[in-house]
Amino acid sequence: MLEKILEKVKEGSLSVQEAKESLTMYEDFGFVKVDHHRKHRQGFPEVVYGEGKTAEQIATIIQSLKSRNNSVLVTRISEEKAQTITTQFPEFQYDGTSQTLFWRQELRDKDYTGYIAIVCAGTSDLRVAEEAAITAETFGCEVRRFYDVGVAGIHRLLDNIEEIRNATVSVVVAGMEGALPSVVGGLVTNPIIAVPTSVGYGANFNGLSALLTMLNSCASGISVVNIDNGFGAAYNAVLIHRLAQGRGNKE
């Protein structure tokens, strides 16, 4: 990266000031140090976790990230905070189901070919499923949603199984007993990232039963993230999707 910046300065396409800004590792606002080099290290810019931050703090972080990236994502943010922020940044969109606030610069070409399947057991799991879907879309991937296809009515899953099979990778979201990833895992060849949700009655233990079911799955090719972690599942799915297309560590 350093060599590329220096070459641009040499050829005159980048000013010294712009080069200096590009080489700044992070921007320190006192309450936060915005990590501008995360995109260079990991392929994607820093994502803002909204819980515990004020609307003013989030707005400051957004301004910093937006000046250097073509997308910004805020997760777990309340509608009240989002309304305050969008008065300053009207180009941002808020999704109440997933509690995400996001912006993506329009690009001429699609970032990737193919698609990621987001498979969701029931309507009660939609908050987590949509967090996964919007995360993947903000990172430039096409997403196809397969919702309310849980094992209680397995014919609904089977009606969509061919399209799920054609995905590069599947994110499978389920609460209750968490059986859906095992069923999907026995029917597809693509990798599955399973997401347990906290949806369920008392013995569900706020998602622990679904988590243990997924960790003990007899189907191969399943990886499991933490309870309700739609963002983490989508992030891993995008990495797999990108590597499958030979994109390496480039955004």
Q: Say how many C-beta atoms besides its own lie within 10 A of residue 11's C-beta.
A: 8
Least confident interval from 83-97, 103-117, 169-183, 236-250: 103-117
**Residues 6+ away with beta carbon under 8 Å from 216:** none
Rounded to 5 degrees, what are φ and ψ at 145? -100, 135
What topology is assigned to 116-244 in CATH? Answer: Rossmann fold (3.40.50)
pLDDT of residue 108: 46
Chain centroid to Cα 199, Å, comes to 20
> What is the residue extent of each domain of the chain?
11-104, 116-244
**Percent share of the chain, pLDDT over 90:** 67
Q: What does the pLDDT look like over 195-207, one tens digit per residue?
A: 999 999 998 999 9
Tokens of 158: 């089977």
d(CA 6, CA 19): 8
Tokens of 191: 């990798």
pLDDT of residue 115: 94
Q: Say how many C-beta atoms besides its own lie within 10 A of residue 226's C-beta.
A: 11
Residue located via tokens 């910004």: 72
**Which one has a higher pLDDT value, 245 or 239?**
239
SS3 assignment for the chain: CHHHHHHHHHHCCCCHHHHHHHCCCEEECCCCEEECCHHHHHCCCCCEECCCCCHHHHHHHHHHHHCCCCEEEEECCCHHHHHHHHHHCCCCEEECCCCEEEEECCCCCCCCCCCEEEEECCHHHHHHHHHHHHHHHHCCCCEEEECCCCHHHHHHHHCCHHHHHCCCEEEEEECCCCCHHHHHHCCCCCCEEEEECCCCCHHHHHHHHHHHHHHCCCCCCEEECCCCCHHHHHHHHHHHHHHHCCCCCCC
* Banded pLDDT at 32 (limits 50, 70, 90): confident
d(CA 142, CA 112): 8
1 pLDDT higher than 70: no
CA distances from 41 to 1, 5, 8, 125 (A): 10, 16, 20, 32
- Residue 45: which of 21, 28, 23, 67 has the closest Cα? 67
* Banded pLDDT at 251 (limits 50, 70, 90): very low
pLDDT of residue 3: 61
**Residues 6+ away with beta carbon under 8 Å from 117:** 143, 144, 146, 163, 164, 167, 169, 170, 171, 190
